[in-house]
Copies of this chain bind each other. A is one copy, B any other.
Amino acid sequence: MDTREICAALDRTDPLAGLRQEFVLPPGVIYLDGNSLGALPRRVAARVGRTLEQEWGQGLIRSWNAADWINLPARVGARIARLIGAAPDEVVATDSTSVNLFKLIVAALRLRPDRHVVLSERDNFPTGLYIAEGALGALGQDRRLRLVGRDEIGAAIDADTALVMLTQVDFRTGALHDMAALTRAAQAEGALVLWDLSHSVGALPVDLDGAGADLAVGCGYKYLNGGPGAPAFAFAASRHHAGLDQPLSGWLGHARPFDFAPGYVPAEGMARLQCGTPPVLSLAALDEALALWNGIDMMAVRTKSMALGELFRRLVAARCAGLGLDFVGPADPDRRGSQVSFRHAEGYAVMQALIARGVIGDFRAPDLLRFGFAPLYLRHVDVWDAVEHLRAVLAAREWDRPVHRRRAAVT
């Protein structure tokens, strides 16, 4: 049987326990929303201060060379590459996940010009679907987005499929796709695959090159702790680089941007995925947050992530039984990302009541309570305490107050 004492004992032998002190964690808060916005690594404030006061303030325009701002997208990309099983030059940090999806969807359709279908999942993270709509609408020519259920993807891939676009970890349920198997299935039909790693990178080992993946994007501000709206990243397998033709052909993707020559000539490699000038302060924050990952074993991260998630699920089952929660998602932790979700008829108000107690998870319409477990800064005792708060909220119907039902702009 689980007890708080056993949780405390697990924390004492946790090989990642020392990393918690690298983060700013507000007193009285148990943060189970690192999958929406990662916590602030302590080292980031000094780095951003230096970038701002020294590099910008004192160095001014010279810092594009002197502080090597110009190569920051590539250097940050190389740091991310290590976490997702890619070669350093297969990843670039640039723009947002949505913008990068647009670039890679169009590039993929150009690599498969005789095919018409972008295949995705009905429950894919919506921005991927919105962006696919936008990209297909721009390209026209009878191309279309086809959405199927999660279990129908393999069977739906055919000779007209140009691209299979999938999010590795389902943002609602945490269900994890088999990247290697789906990549093989798509490639067997001649299609490309574009993986959205937003809910995977930093939470579990990803092996893009091992899976033979074609294209990927991901988010810098969730498990990578790069800060609100941190730049995202784009990956393309090196075999695709020479043929990668993306439409957002801005000057920093040019082979010789400082020639200021009239015609667009794409840079070699992933640099061509860049478009405009990157937001250096935000990119520096992400770079510094990524330095935390040096030497971290992603298998240890995954082991702890699964242990925390399973502990949460087990404790909720044991201590919140009969209080209106329905577990959603794969029961097998091997088939789940670093989150655990429950349905509750009053999900929104329950989450507000929990947040009022300092337990921060998030709510996803219409009725989903979502709890993320960031293995770098969460402890087993946090999980124990969070479940105790959840039990209290539900048992005393604390959610049943007008203040908790009032909808905010961002849920």
Contact = CB atoms under 8 A, between A and B. Distances in A.
Interface of A: 24, 26, 29, 31, 33, 36-37, 39-40, 44-45, 48-49, 52-53, 55-58, 60-65, 69-71, 95-99, 102, 106, 122, 125-127, 129-131, 133-135, 137-141, 147, 171, 221, 227-232, 246-254, 258-264, 275-283, 285, 355, 360, 362, 364-365, 408-411
B228 A261 contact: no
Contact of A52 (B33, B40, B140, B411): B40
B62 A355 contact: yes
Contact of A227 (B130, B230, B261, B280): B280
Given A96-B250, A131-B248, 17 more contacts: A24-B53, A24-B57, A33-B60, A40-B56, A44-B52, A45-B49, A45-B57, A64-B228, A65-B410, A98-B250, A98-B276, A102-B250, A129-B263, A227-B280, A229-B280, A260-B364, A279-B281
A249 B130 contact: yes
Nearest to A283: B229
8 A-B pairs with least C-beta separation: A96-B276, A98-B250, A98-B276, A279-B282, A134-B249, A228-B280, A127-B251, A64-B410
7 contacts: A39-B57, A52-B285, A55-B228, A98-B251, A122-B262, A134-B247, A279-B282
Contacts of A37: 56, 60-61
B409 A259 contact: no
B48 A99 contact: no
Given A48-B52, A126-B260, A259-B365, A99 B250 contact: yes
A386 to B, nearest CB: 15
Nearest to A51: B228
A362 B64 CA distance: 12
A97 B276 contact: yes
A272 to B, nearest CB: 11
A280 B248 CA distance: 22
Contacts of A277: 96-97, 221, 228-229
A371 to B, nearest CB: 13
A278 B97 CA distance: 11
A122 B283 CA distance: 33
User: Which of A40, A71, A134, A147 has its CB near the most chain B CB atoms (within 10 A)?
Assistant: A134
A60 B45 contact: no
A48 B46 CA distance: 12
A404 to B, nearest CB: 14
B131 A65 contact: no
Nearest to A280: B228
Contacts of A280: 227-229, 282
Contacts of A49: 45, 49
A156 B140 CA distance: 29
A251 B130 contact: yes
